[in-house]
Amino acid sequence: MEHSILSIILILILILILSISHPLRSQNNTQKPTPKMPLFQVPEPYLKQDGVVSWAPEGDTFIRVIPNGLLPISPNIETFRVSSSALTQRSSYFSALLGPRWNTSDNGTGKSRYSPLILQGDSLYGIAMFLALAHDIDLSSQETNFTFRNIKIIARVCDKYMYSGPTPSYITNPLNKLLSIRPSRLMYHHEGSAMYCLPDIMVVASILNLSEILTKASRHMMWVLPVPPVGGFDAECTMTDLFRPNFVRNFREEAERLSKHLVTQLPKLLWPDPHSSTHTGRWWCENCAAITHEERWNRELISKCPLDDSSIFLMSLGDIVSTWLNEIPSLDDAQHSPGGGPREELPCGRFRLRYADISLEEIHMDLYASMGGMCMHCYKAGVFRYDVFCQTHKMCLVLN
């Protein structure tokens, strides 16, 4: 009897220990979720105790933002004190909204923090940065927070409110860094999808009036992106709805034109064997001399490349050029007799590869340069054309 009672007591004690230890063990193994960090912290001088961000300490306008989602900046910030003068100078939208009639109006909307101007449906972060840009606020200390994703958020708001002011280096530097990768290495970049960011970079540059960045992005884009992805972009491309009308069709047409143009830019390396019999001392006949170097390349190399219309459609311009250049060594081998014996003289209308002091890599980069890029001002005016120099705006479009 005593033994059974003791056993029951031991079982109860064991159950009690397990019931206590289990929640403790569960609690110890549970990691607290990492709080989501804001995209940036408002610098201390601009954040007032009442929660108002004062981009202009003596500003005459108050703007309250009702955002589209969670607050992605310092908490409890929705109201900004700004200068109507700064906004009207840097934004066509606010130039119309806060014009002379607003200044002389008895309507108090926007003139105090208790009756602010309401902006709905925008990214709070995007609005904060747009207003900071309009007031020349120096945020260079937070440059590491200006990722490409964040810059796209800013650009969308700048597009909506028609921002026309300068763009600081803490925004242009990350964009230039993305474009600093050699075009031939873009598809192998560690981010994996760097090449598919190019359409978005081009849109951002157009919105923020970054002429050199737009030209570089347009060149990279034409060189590394085949035509189909321009119509069906990678999931990371979120700005393509802001492309100019008929962008995809124009891109396809320009890619076809450039593929023919680049043939004319191949170096003069194909020459006929001496075969003139009508004029003593002449190396070749007048018929061969009349054949352009473009046609020579087409006859001896391009027409023999393993490319057809369907495969070319799936290739980028850079891939097509690489295919041409990869065939040059085999062309040289085919025109020499096997075993190193005497070579057979080529007939009239055929051309032999004669090497100059130039490497295939140099040819590759020369062709890339000869493609040129797009002029931002022409692009905004609806002209979609690649060139090395814009005659209309006197701009060089060959940028490293």
> Which comes out higher in pLDDT, residue 384 or 27?
384
386 forms beta bridges with: 374
Q: Spell out the SS3 assignment of 134-163.
A: HCCCCCHHHHHHCCHHHHHHHHHHHHHCCE
**For the chain, domain boundaries:** 38-139, 254-336+345-372
Q: Quick one: tokens of 291?
A: 């054949």
Please give the mean pLDDT across all residues of the chain: 79
Share of the chain above pLDDT 70, in %: 73
Task: State the pLDDT confidence band at 27, using cuts at 50, 70 and 90.
Answer: very low
> Which comes out higher in pLDDT, residue 332 or 30?
332
CA distance 374 to 211: 9
**Whether pLDDT at 152 is above 80:** yes
**Whether pLDDT at 175 is above 90:** yes
The continuous run of DSSP H or E covering 119 comes out as: strand 117-120
Range with lowest mean pLDDT among 15-24, 127-136, 273-282: 15-24
Identify whether the C-beta of residue 225 lies closer than 8 Å to the C-beta of residue 195.
yes
CA distance 319 to 73: 43
Identify whether the C-beta of residue 199 lies closer than 8 Å to the C-beta of residue 237.
yes
Closest by CA to 117, choosing from 76, 155, 142, 81, is 81
pLDDT at 31: 44
Mind listing the pLDDT tens digit for each residue in 115-129?
A: 888 888 888 889 999
Q: What is the pTM of this model?
A: 0.80
**Whether pLDDT at 104 is above 70:** no
Range with lowest mean pLDDT among 43-52, 236-245, 329-338: 329-338
Identify whether the C-beta of residue 391 lies closer than 8 Å to the C-beta of residue 236.
no
Task: State the pLDDT confidence band at 130, using cuts at 50, 70 and 90.
Answer: very high
Strands 386-387 and 373-374: antiparallel
pLDDT at 23: 42
Task: State the pLDDT confidence band at 137, using cuts at 50, 70 and 90.
Answer: very high
**Whether pLDDT at 335 is above 70:** no
Mind listing the pLDDT tens digit for each residue in 32-65?
A: 444 444 456 777 788 776 778 899 988 889 998 8
What's at 75, amino acid-wise?
A: P
Mind listing the pLDDT tens digit for each residue in 185-211?
A: 544 443 445 677 888 999 999 999 999
53 forms beta bridges with: 47, 80
CA distance 86 to 59: 9
The continuous run of DSSP H or E covering 190 comes out as: none
CA distance 123 to 307: 47
Q: Quick one: tokens of 213?
A: 């960045």
**Whether pLDDT at 161 is above 60:** yes
pLDDT at 155: 96
Q: How many CB atoms lie within 10 A of CB 270?
A: 20
